[in-house]
Structure 1
């Protein structure tokens, strides 16, 4: 029979790259950790580790078991949490992650309200972008995350997770006034295929919306400048250094900038969600969902 503490040790070997590192994580000696891992291999009847004089690595069987063990251990922790909370939101633990914009706009105030109502609830917060938050949810490192994805682009892998919608934030095209087309109608991105573009620094993942959207419009954007701050992006546009896709809610001043609605591709929207593990019984999640929904809207 698999024993949780031995699975924890095996996962720790995968995370730290050594038995000594796993032992430090578990608070035991390397000799004790090695003995417990040996018992785990003996119980299963297959080798899980390839040991050398100065290193250790997982066998294929070890990798398979680690992948399953992460889910098993997260489920065990969720079961323990359910017993501790005993059906009330005012006790236990709630670990939340969110990306910076949502944190500023409504997550931090919502957490403040939760703390005032439930001083006995252990609240922790980590700033994470969705591409880091979703794996952390699956691994049981956090309980809930405010995430985002862009429509109409393909969504992330949500196996084992559930989402509740919080807010839909449309995107517009920010251009210097000289590039504003004649007329008041919405713009086609393909009409700006030869322009210089400004985009976020990430070249992949959920932040690569400019690359993905322009590719869907039939061209590769010529990105000359990269910045993560909305204020920096808008300053670069106002300086006539390029054009950018930006959330309408991020634009607080239009000075030196023309904002164009986008006709094609249609309805480019950043959708925010509250994402958690399917079946998580933590009652604080339901209350946090209500608080975030109220404040987001």
Structure 2
């Protein structure tokens, strides 16, 4: 039994990869891991910005951080990224598989399901599910060989329940009418299923795999949408990005040493209705 339970959450010296590290949630996830002592690899498409943010993290948290630009749709690029991270920081202890995309055309992404393009579907799936698998594969096999590691994969509340289209009426994002498109729900549901598979597959090799599922996070949505969404939540508000970080630290740390294959839903009670 530990003499100090606070130490269960200590990540000092551990190496963490965060994909989608420059995103709305990704920056907070990277910061939380670094603040708990981890050496963090910030992985995103833009290596210049990833390196700049990694330097900012290092200065803030007094831990070594490293920025890497990677297209996770490319198996070779993923393998090269993991090699670079391990050469720079050491063997990976924690993977937060967090990258996702809306594709290059927001209007096409938010198209109703009756008219949805298969090309757009494939473009989103290539990152949200295919890329996520490639990163889990590349990191997980190394963890399994070392017989230790924690993988956390980001899903969404709409990967576990259907969206209420009524809350989107009259709302826009960057000038485009929004909804939750079918490819988003399907890709995020796939994350939950893949997590369960990998959790049972790698359990005997000391690797834990869990899902972190955020509910709605306030990120500049208009007031009408925020009010409608909040009216569906028992806690009567949207989350802040910071409120997702505690669950990540729990899943990344020894505090969750007997937790695998689980989906930690941080949704203000929405899924409890």
Length-normalised TM-score, structure 2: 0.28
Task: Tell me which protein shows more strand as a share of its residues.
Answer: 1
Task: Tell me which protein shows more helix as a share of its residues.
Answer: 2
- Structure scoring higher RCO (CA < 8 A, sep ≥ 6) equals 1
Q: State the structure with more CA Rg.
A: 1
